[in-house]
């Protein structure tokens, strides 16, 4: 299946999602991101949605832009953030702040040893954190990106990609 076929399969009630999907995967629709970054973010977001069709379509297209190591880095971002987002969302939302002072005791070595460009990994982690709804992680990744001179437009583009792909997965699951 191609991206176009996936978009065509979206139901009529998801017309806005169709229109948005068509724009987010291009540099014109994702300000301040390279085509490579767009597909990295899209692939990490697709993994996070757990939608097999979306993953398959984006992995096939992303292979045109990403090395096998970068593709694996997007799996790593989705994987580690699926753990961290749960843990840190709990820390952030629970009223007893004692938990915030306790050691996490979770291995997170991949965050420092992912083997790809640091900014690209951070953008992917931000997208995954947005889908998973972890405010604490979104804040941490946004701060890291800003400290590394990533523009607010690039950060917004990352979130837009995550939002549209999440809505695409949701809409295709409904049928």
Token pair of 173 as six digits: 């699951």
Active-site residue, selected from the candidate residues 130, 137, 150, 159? 137
Say whether 125 is catalytic: no
Active-site residue, selected from the candidate residues 134, 136, 162, 169? 134
30-53 in b/e form (b: 16+ CB < 10 A) is beebeebbbbbbbbbbbbbbebeb
**DSSP sequence for 139-161:** HHHHHHHHHTT--HHHHHHHHHH
Say whether 134 is catalytic: yes
Report the catalytic residues.
134, 137
């Amino acid at each position: 299946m191609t991206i176009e076929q996936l978009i065509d399969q979206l139901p009529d009630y998801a017309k806005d999602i169709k229109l948005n999907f068509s724009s987010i995967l291009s540099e014109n629709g994702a300000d301040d991101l390279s085509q490579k970054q767009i597909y990295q973010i899209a692939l990490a977001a697709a993994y996070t949605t757990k939608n097999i069709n979306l993953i398959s379509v984006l992995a096939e297209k992303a292979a045109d832009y990403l090395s096998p190591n970068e593709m694996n880095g997007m799996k790593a971002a989705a994987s580690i953030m699926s753990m961290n987002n749960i843990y840190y969302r709990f820390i952030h939302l629970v009223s007893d702040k004692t938990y915030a002072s306790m050691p996490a005791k979770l291995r997170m070595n991949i965050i420092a040893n992912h083997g790809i460009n640091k900014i690209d990994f951070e953008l992917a982690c931000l997208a995954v954190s947005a889908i998973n709804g972890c405010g604490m992680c979104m804040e941490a990744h946004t701060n890291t990106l800003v400290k590394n001179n990533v523009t607010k437009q690039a950060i917004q583009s990352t979130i837009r990609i995550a939002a549209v792909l999440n809505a695409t997965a949701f809409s295709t699951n409904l049928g």
